[in-house]
C-alpha cells in the first residue's frame, strides 16, 4: 500500500503550483501545514544532476538539460531537508534528449533506491519507460495521464504495464456518459492492484474525488479545511 486511510493529501510542488513552487520553502511549508506527503517535479541537467523543475526551460530561457545544476535545487537537497517520515511523490520529467541518451531513469534509480530505505516514495511520470526502468526496485510507480485522458484506457494501461498506481487529472474522473462512474473505476483499479491518485482537485469540488487513495492539491490550507482536518 502506498497510502493509508484515504484520501491522503499531497502538496502539489509543495504548497501548490505557481510562485514558489518546487522550492524548499514551499515543501517545508506544506509539511508545516500538516501534510505527510509532497509532490515534486524532477529532471536532469547537463552535469547529470537531478533538479527540481516543472518546465524544461529556466526563467532565463535556458534548457535545464543544457545547463549545469549550479544553484538549482537538487533532489538530494530536498531529501536531506525533509523529515524522513514525509513521503515524496517524484514526478519525473524526461527530456527530448532521453530519446537518444536515456540517462534520466538510471540517474534517478540510484538516488531513489538509497532514499527508499528511510522514507515513503512513489514515482509518477507521463513517460512509462521511466516507470518500467524502475521495475524491481520495490518503489511504487504510477502512470500519469494528461487532461481528459480516458479513465478506462488509463487504468487498463497502468495494470498492463505492471505498475502499482495510476495518477489521473480531475478531468479524466468527471462524470461522462462515455465512462463508468469514478467510484466504479476506482473499485476496478483496486481489484487490479492499483492505487488511484487524482491531481489538482479544488477544495470546493472534492466530494467527487474522495474514492481516490490520494489527492495532489494546489490549495493545501483550503483542502484541509474542506476535509475538516
**pLDDT at site 220:** 96
The confidence band for 2, taking pLDDT boundaries of 50, 70 and 90, is confident
Per-residue pLDDT at 222: 96
* pLDDT attached to residue 17: 67
Joined together, the cell numbers standing for residue 8 give 491522503
Give the pLDDT confidence score for residue 227 in this predicted structure.
95
Ordered by where they begin, the domains of the chain are 8-226 (3.20.20.190)
Residue 152 CB partners (closer than 8 Å, separation 6+): 179, 180, 185
How sure is the predictor about 4, in pLDDT bands with cuts at 50, 70 and 90?
confident
Residue-wise over 89-123: b if at least 16 C-beta within 10 A, else e?
Answer: bbbbbbbebbeeeeebbebbbebbeebeeeebbbb
pLDDT above 90 covers what percent of the chain? 92
Tell me what the pLDDT averaged over the chain comes to: 96
Percentage of the chain beyond pLDDT 70 is 99
Confidence tier at 59 by pLDDT (50, 70, 90)? confident
* Residue 214 Cα distances to 13, 69, 108, 149, 151, angstroms: 15, 31, 23, 18, 16
Residue pair 37/214 in contact (Cβ under 8 Å)? The answer is yes
Task: Give Cα 151 to chain centroid, integer Å.
Answer: 17
pLDDT tens, residue by residue, 140-154: 999 999 999 999 999
By residue count, the chain amounts to 229
Is the pLDDT confidence value at 63 over 90? yes
pTM: 0.96
Amino acid at each position: 500500500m502506498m497510502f493509508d486511510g484515504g484520501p491522503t493529501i499531497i502538496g502539489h510542488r509543495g504548497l501548490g503550483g505557481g510562485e514558489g513552487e518546487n522550492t524548499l520553502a514551499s515543501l517545508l511549508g506544506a509539511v508545516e501545514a500538516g501534510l505527510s506527503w509532497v509532490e515534486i517535479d524532477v529532471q536532469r541537467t547537463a552535469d547529470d544532476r537531478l533538479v527540481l523543475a516543472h518546465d524544461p526551460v529556466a526563467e532565463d530561457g535556458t534548457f535545464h538539460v543544457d545547463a549545469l545544476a549550479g544553484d538549482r535545487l537538487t533532489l538530494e537537497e530536498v531529501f536531506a531537508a525533509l523529515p524522513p517520515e514525509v513521503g515524496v511523490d517524484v514526478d519525473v520529467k524526461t527530456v527530448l534528449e532521453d530519446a537518444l541518451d536515456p540517462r534520466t531513469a538510471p540517474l534517478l534509480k540510484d538516488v531513489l533506491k538509497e532514499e527508499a530505505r528511510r522514507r515513503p516514495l512513489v514515482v509518477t511520470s507521463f513517460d512509462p519507460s521511466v516507470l518500467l526502468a524502475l521495475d524491481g526496485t520495490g518503489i511504487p510507480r504510477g502512470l500519469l495521464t494528461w487532461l481528459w485522458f480516458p479513465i478506462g484506457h488509463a487504468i487498463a494501461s497502468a495494470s498492463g504495464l505492471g505498475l502499482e498506481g495510476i495518477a489521473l487529472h480531475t478531468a479524466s474522473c468527471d462524470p461522462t456518459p462515455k465512462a463508468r462512474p469514478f467510484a466504479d473505476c476506482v473499485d476496478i483499479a483496486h481489484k487490479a492492484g492499483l492505487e488511484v491518485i487524482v491531481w489538482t482537485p479544488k477544495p470546493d469540488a472534492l466530494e467527487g474525488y474522495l474514492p481516490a487513495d490520494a489527492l495532489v492539491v494546489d490549495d493545501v490550507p483550503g483542502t484541509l479545511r474542506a476535509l475538516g482536518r
